[in-house]
Structure 1
Amino acid sequence: MSTKVDEIINIIENLAPLRYAYQWDNVGLQIGSRSDEVQRILIALEVTDEVLEEAVKNNVDMIISHHPLIFSPLKKIIKEDLKGKLLYKAIRNNISVYSTHTNMDIAPNGLNDYVANLLGLKDMEVLDVTEKSTYYKLAVFTPVGHEEKVAEAICSAGAGHIGNYSNCTFRVNGTGTFLPLEGTNPFIGAQGQGEKVEEIKIETIVPQGNLKSVVKAMLKVHPYEEVAYDIYPLENEGPVLGIGRMGYLPHAVSIADLANKIKDIFNIEHIKIAGDLKAHINKVAIINGSGAEYIKLAMHRGCQCVITGDVKYHDAQDAISQGMNVIDMGHYHSEKVFPKLLIDYLSKKVEEKDLNVEIIQSSVDINPFQLI
């Protein structure tokens, strides 16, 4: 059975829903159709001409990137333009392009968490909170024998997640009664005849952002013509969402030793440091990509060092003047683990769903800088 782009998108957005992204960002499907078939996926940090050529040579049907291929609004698409050349090439070769950017940074278990875990941070918190999740309880009544199909549909659409556990439901047996009136086409019984049916009530928890998609998925697979279900608002505190992570190192280390550890973990030849190399610290903040704007916030939240990329001269000077330490590992190096994160996640989900899809990592080095 063929796999559709839509199925891959749903898997990704269960981890990093589009609504998590900043308003200025441009995420989601950028080229192609959700109904297109996909057999081979290429994961890359960014879509360049070399990455696209790699996709063509490997008969790739879909590219998933961190940086959006289309970011600013396009007023024209010309073959000779750099962006136009890429768009033409992807379309001619029937390659779908999907980007998951700040939504993947912000997502719990997304890129910010992935990098923080590589450094072994403990007691992690979100640095800059953008929202706190609201939860609902969904209860749906299904005839015996259809409960597994309905439960799988709602959990695949984003329900049933509690901490690091997925597919969490509670089920109880009971008896449903109904009388099909004129104009109905009942799944069980006949018009004008009262019915009693053995049913199973499925209860689960749903984040507000997934509620519409979960209900849609439920209605699509439920056998009843009119589905009986309830939605209750909950006061349970959901995960806090936001950009950046802060936490404690396993033990206090000097800035110099921490920088060397980062070099080893991320395979970086050189790294920039602003601050006191001998200062011993234990609480740090990590912001993937360009995070200089969060240095002051990190300082106010008790962090002793910020690890990020793209720190400008005056940002570094301001940090030093306030006794703050900064490690600039570079934009590219702070995000280059994105393909590994997504391949690990997608491969597991594809195997669980028994989808016939091959996932490969781009071998193109897109780092624009060279050290001599």
Structure 2
Amino acid sequence: MSTSLQDVCQHLALIAPLALAESWDNVGLLVGDRASAVQNVMTCLTVTPSVVTEAVESNVDLVVTHHPVPFRPLSKITTDSLTGEMLWRLIRSGVAVYSAHTAFDSAGDGINQSWAKLLHLTSVGPIIDPEPGHELGAGRVGVLPAPTVAREVIERCVSHVNAVGPRYVGPIDRTVSRVGFACGSGGSFVAKAHRRRCELLITGEATFHQCLEAESFGMTLALIGHYYSERFAMERLATQLGAHFPELNVWASRNETNPVHPLG
């Protein structure tokens, strides 16, 4: 008996319950026929032209992307825009698209929780409290097994994902105990992390003014890159899906790369 798109969607919703997604997000099955059969599944961080080409040339049936496409409602799907062109190619080739995005960020076995596990944090909780009726909130903050110099904590995270060009704000050589994570664009978490007594917040990127905010709080803010803070989880998700559906061919995109490069 073949595996249907609905079968895979249901399992993805167990890994990252869609109710955890932010209200502004666009999650779940975004393109596709739930009754269709699935054989080849590819995960990625973001759907780009090169990822679309890989999907089409590899006869992919389902792309599981972290960042949703479309993200905002479209009034038309034409090749006049980049998003429209990518969607048109995917639809013509019968490629479905699924995204869990912020639901996966916040899930019990999601991206921020993975960072907390990497550092063996204890007393782990959300940076932002969950909505009424939800068990989990956004971001994670917890206590290190032993007080550690902030630089060493950051270097361990950078090494884990082979991040290039990390940056930081605030004191780097002080000892910290309470560490927070907000994958992706986590600058908006700064004030709430400060209220959680977070001494070091690790995220992908933040705006200039969010960096100033962290500095004013005396907080250390590590910017390891949006791509690096999340892409590793899509590789892990591919492994998880492959283990649960051994009859499927599942892999993380081989064409996807970080679009941001250091000058030197």
Q: Which residue of 1 aligns with 2:200?
A: 305
Question: 8 Å contact 1:43–1:63 — kept in the other structure?
Answer: yes
For residues 325-353 of structure 1, the C-alpha deviation after alignment (integer angstroms, 9 at most, x for no partner) is 111112111111121231232223224xx
Letter of the aligned partner of 1:368 in structure 2? P
Give structure 1 stretches of 5+ with no counterpart: 135-239
1:104 deviates by 0.9
What is the distance in 1 between the residues matched to 2:81 and 2:209?
34
1:4 deviates by 0.6
Q: How many percent of aligned residue pairs carry the same amino acid? A: 33
Q: How does 1:1-372 map to 2 (within 5 A)?
A: 1-131=1-131, 240-351=135-246, 356-372=247-263
1:123 deviates by 2.5
Distance change in 2, residues 1:10/1:49 (3 Å) = same
Letter of the aligned partner of 1:250 in structure 2? P
1:132 deviates by 5.9
For residues 7-47 of structure 1, the C-alpha deviation after alignment (integer angstroms, 9 at most, x for no partner) is 00011111212222111000111111101110010011111
For residues 109-130 of structure 1, the C-alpha deviation after alignment (integer angstroms, 9 at most, x for no partner) is 1121112212332221122122
What is the distance in 2 between the residues matched to 1:123 and 1:346?
29
1:34 is paired with a residue whose SS is: coil
What is the distance in 2 between the residues matched to 1:344 and 1:131?
30
Q: Which residue of 2 aligns with 1:145?
A: none
Give structure 2 stretches of 5+ with no counterpart: none
What is the distance in 1 between the residues matched to 2:257 and 2:73?
23
1:35 is paired with a residue whose SS is: coil
Letter of the aligned partner of 2:10 in structure 1? N
| Aligned Cα root-mean-square deviation (Å) | 1.5
Question: 8 Å contact 2:235–2:251 — kept in the other structure?
Answer: no
Letter of the aligned partner of 2:34 in structure 1? R
2:139 is paired with a residue whose SS is: strand
What is the distance in 2 between the residues matched to 1:276 and 1:18?
37
1:336 is paired with a residue whose SS is: helix
Letter of the aligned partner of 2:177 in structure 1? N
What is the distance in 1 between the residues matched to 2:235 and 2:114?
10
Letter of the aligned partner of 2:254 in structure 1? S
What is the distance in 2 between the residues matched to 1:349 and 1:126?
28
1:276 is paired with a residue whose SS is: coil
1:77 deviates by 1.7
Question: 8 Å contact 1:132–1:241 — kept in the other structure?
Answer: no
For residues 163-209 of structure 1, the C-alpha deviation after alignment (integer angstroms, 9 at most, x for no partner) is xxxxxxxxxxxxxxxxxxxxxxxxxxxxxxxxxxxxxxxxxxxxxxx
1:133 deviates by 5.0
What is the distance in 1 between the residues matched to 2:163 and 2:15?
28
What is the distance in 2 between the residues matched to 1:299 and 1:268?
25
For residues 76-134 of structure 1, the C-alpha deviation after alignment (integer angstroms, 9 at most, x for no partner) is 22223211110111011111111111111111111211122123322211221223658
Which structure carries more helix by proportion? 2
For residues 59-87 of structure 1, the C-alpha deviation after alignment (integer angstroms, 9 at most, x for no partner) is 11111010001011112222232111101
What is the distance in 1 between the residues matched to 2:81 and 2:175?
50
Distance change in 2, residues 1:364/1:116 (3 Å) = farther
Higher gyration radius (CA): 1
Q: How many residues align?
A: 263
1:309 deviates by 2.1
1:251 deviates by 2.1
Letter of the aligned partner of 1:367 in structure 2? N
